[in-house]
Chains A and B, each alone.
Chain A
Amino acid sequence: MTSPLRIRDRLDHRLAQANLSAYLDGEVTGDQKRRLERHLAICPGCREELASLRDTVMLLQQAPLRSVPRSFALPMELQAEQARNRRWNLTYSYLRGATVVATFLLVLLVSGDALIGMGAIPIPDAAPRLPKAVAVERVPEAPPVVEAVIEREVAATAPPTKVVTEKEGAPTPAPEGPRVELVQGQPSPAALASPSPVAEADLARGGGAPPDAAAVLGASPSIPRLEDTGLAAIAPSEKALATGRGLEPTSAPSPTLVSPTAEPPTARPTPVSPTLEPPTATPTQVPVTVTPEPPTATPTQVPVTVTPEPSPTPAKVAALAPRETEAKSAQPPMTQPLSPIWTVWRGLRVLWGLLAGLLLILLASTIWAGHRRRP
């Protein structure tokens, strides 16, 4: 069994073999130095080793220094070259930094754009849809027969209005509304041409009580009754009524009966602005748009201005329906205002496109400056 003393000596011997050179230069710790000196006292081999190392170091230290064969000072032309290199190095550093920043920003913008496009980043919805231009509920077109009845009722209850015609009692020079063409069972033109005495009386009064449509129809022998005539008058188109133009003749018979005295199409109010204003309570005269047309049986056509009533009746709604179409066509298409976020998003797309171009320029400049500079 190996004694601890021999183990310690063995360890000290290994320490000496590894640290004799450092011990020679004084580069060992206090504990290492004590152990080395204890071992050197009992180990002749380590003492010989140490002596030979000491002689080697002494011999090496006696090696002569060699003199410098020439001066190694740098030429003065190098100073200007160095100044030029410094400027290029600085330019290169700035360009490299700008390229890094531009790359980072571009990656940020492209990532944000992609995330928004994929819906990962929620964007608030656009402004709530504005109400449509025509708020009036479009009433389905009533059957022609019902329409005629409604018109008669309206004429009967309409407040007194100012007649549009300039000369009282004189027959209207031209039709102010669509021309109603009778297709079937037409009464004689003469019968139609002669105005009813009741209507003429009203005209002479200069607008008083509106002519009683029923009375007019009933009293005037010239105007055939609805049930007798079996008229297949052509209902004026909505657009024609709105513009006051003449009817376009159609071959398709329509059961709509239009009384020329009750409510000629020309008496329909003119189109109003798309933003419909609520009907005013006070009766106002609505200007009537008159389009020139060849005169027809004008004496029988008594223009009657229909004033809007406070409470819109279905007839009124139907009358307004033609205006709805024109209002739609006249009004520019409504666009929803964009929210600020959408505007910013579009701006970001333009921005990162510009940034990509700038990055390419910076990359080319950086590479060129890198070739010009001397590292």
Chain B
Amino acid sequence: MNEEALIASARQGDLTAFNRLVLAYQQMAYNLAYRVVGNQDGAMDATQAAFLRGYRALHQFRGGSFKAWLLRIVTNCCYDQLRARQRRPTTPLDDILEDDDHSQLLQNHGQQPEDQVERRELGAFIQAGIQTLPNDQRVVLVMRDIQGMSYLEISETIMVSLGTIKSRLSRARAKMRDYLLSHREQLPDRFRLRGG
């Protein structure tokens, strides 16, 4: 059954059809939420809330890109998580473990890491750099450079103009470049940026 048929069936109240859509988009939604929120628990809460809100608001979907519509809900749920964290600052256990991972990277920067470990470390390092960005630049950077979405898809998802997307993305990339250059000794050799 194609996506349009599943959407039509889900709008009639068929939860089984909607769960099939969930299975198709849950990884994309979770990775977006994880990169924006910054921790696993927050990402899981935001993803589950987004799918629940999507099922209840499916009658408001007027056609177009279902992916953009769903990721918009995910983004809004991530913003809710970030605002809640600012009101009640906490340190999730996963962040401590990742910090440990990051510290292990610092301790192991002279040895030849395995590819999986290197990629895991790279991911943690990138995540740390992303967390330094403002929320609006973070979302655009994750969508474009990690999720691989086009400028038009990003515009439809977060409902901003193309010029705003270019501006935010340009600033976000510049800040990430500066972060990576300032901490390039923490990167594996083959990932270190040129310049200085």
Contacts and interface: CB of A to CB of B under 8 A. Distances in A.
Chain B associates with chain A: yes
Contacts of B162: 27
B176 interface: yes
B23 A74 contact: no
Interface residues of A, number: 38
Interface stretch (B1-9, B50-58, B82-90, B103-111): B50-58
Identify the 9 closest CB pairs spanning chains A and B, nearest first: A21-B170, A60-B145, A73-B19, A79-B15, A56-B177, A72-B26, A63-B126, A22-B166, A64-B119
B92 interface: no
Contacts of B177: 52-53, 55-56
Contact of A66 (B14, B30, B144, B174): B30
Contacts of A67: 27
Contacts of A146: none
Contact of B194 (A22, A51, A74): A51
Contacts of A6: none
21 contacts: A18-B170, A21-B170, A21-B174, A22-B169, A27-B151, A52-B177, A52-B193, A52-B194, A53-B177, A56-B176, A56-B177, A59-B180, A59-B193, A60-B146, A60-B176, A63-B123, A67-B27, A69-B40, A72-B29, A78-B55, A86-B13
B31 interface: yes
A94 B18 CA distance: 28
B135 interface: no
Contact of B15 (A52, A61, A78): A78
A56 to B, nearest CB: 4
A65 B51 CA distance: 20
Interface of A: 18-22, 25, 27, 48, 51-53, 55-57, 59-74, 76, 78-79, 82-83, 85-86, 374
Nearest to A28: B166
B51 A72 contact: yes
Contacts of B173: 21, 53, 56-57
B22 A72 contact: yes
B145 A82 contact: no
B141 interface: yes
A219 to B, nearest CB: 117
Nearest to A89: B59
User: Which residue, of B13, B51, B120, B173, has the highest number of chain A Cβ atoms within 10 A?
Assistant: B173
A348 B50 CA distance: 52
B47 interface: yes
Contacts of B191: 59, 62
Given A25-B144, A27-B166, A71-B22, 9 more contacts: A52-B193, A52-B194, A59-B191, A61-B145, A63-B126, A72-B26, A73-B23, A74-B15, A78-B15
B146 A63 contact: yes
A69 B94 CA distance: 13
Contacts of B151: 25, 27
A70 B22 contact: no
Interface residues on B, range: 35 or more
A85 B19 contact: no
Contacts of B44: 69-70
B194 A55 contact: yes
B181 interface: yes
A60 B119 contact: no
B15 A76 contact: yes
Nearest to B152: A27
Nearest to A18: B170
Interface string B30-50: 110010000010001001100
Nearest to A77: B15
Contacts of B30: 66, 68-69, 72
A20 to B, nearest CB: 7
B195 interface: yes
Contacts of B194: 51-52, 55
B169 to A, nearest CB: 6
A19 B166 contact: yes
A250 B141 CA distance: 120
B19 A74 contact: yes
A72 B127 CA distance: 23
B136 to A, nearest CB: 16
Interface in B129-175: 141, 144-146, 148, 151, 162, 166, 169-170, 173-174
A328 to B, nearest CB: 76
A59 B126 contact: yes
B26 A68 contact: yes
Contacts of B123: 63-64, 66
A55 B166 contact: no
